[in-house]
Structure 1
């Protein structure tokens, strides 16, 4: 199951996956090229996000995190946990490949994400969500 999102807007970024620490104001030429969510099982979600004009890998990591927050919220999950993110840049296009767990209750571990708080940060910085 994959969902796609194609939005051309600009703003924001997180720290690689532990929630709400997003940067403000992307360069004016930054473009969100779309994000997809793939359920690997009931609780493990893979997010692929692409963008142009990012300052560095952190911007596309933030985009993936916001896509994950929207996906989890739409499915009634209040929490997520970051497992891993890899980033690649080819021809000016940054791509993040991130994996998270989602759950209705706070998961164990140090890399937990409060989905509602993350969504608020994404909206505030203008980063699209799924």
Structure 2
């Protein structure tokens, strides 16, 4: 194959890729948050979503709810304890439990509520 034929084939291949439609990314459907106070500093959040591309999106949604809830209650911090995720027929549900506190709690998965709520707003994730 001549050099011109190779260059022509590469140019045509590049044009075909440039005009190819991009795969549509589904927009997450935030369906709601239910909050249950389990103790003075222990809260459960049930979040529901559709169009989930990764299960961690549910955890992010619950984290946003927990951070906003902590601020509403006059606390500045939260700590993640657990999240259970389930999917049925395209509807994803997670139940997550957090502690909330006025000072930085001990543990690895702590949240600064103001920082998290600001990040949620920037990323379009609803809060409580």
Q: What is the alpha-carbon distance in structure 2 between the residues aligned to residue 51 and residue 79 of structure 1?
A: 25
Determine the structure 1 residue equivalent to 2:26.
27
Displacement of 1:110: 1.3
TM-score by length of 1: 0.77
Note the residue ranges of structure 2 that are not aligned, 5 or more in a row. Answer: 1-24
How many corresponding residue pairs? 104
Q: What is the alpha-carbon distance in structure 1 between the residues aligned to residue 26 and residue 123 of structure 2?
A: 13
Determine the structure 2 residue equivalent to 1:53.
51
Residues 2-53 of structure 1, C-alpha deviations (whole Å, 9 max, x = no match): xxxxxxxxxxxxxxxxxxxxxxxx723x311101111000000000000000
Contact 1:37 1:68 in 2 (8 A): no
Residues 49-88 of structure 1, C-alpha deviations (whole Å, 9 max, x = no match): 0000010211111111111111111111100100000100
Note the residue ranges of structure 1 that are not aligned, 5 or more in a row. Answer: 1-25
Determine the structure 1 residue equivalent to 2:16.
none
Q: What is the alpha-carbon distance in structure 2 between the residues aligned to residue 36 and residue 27 of structure 1?
A: 24
Q: What is the alpha-carbon distance in structure 2 between the residues aligned to residue 75 and residue 115 of structure 1?
A: 11
Max Rg structure: 2
TM-score by length of 2: 0.78
Aligned-residue RMSD, C-alpha: 1.0
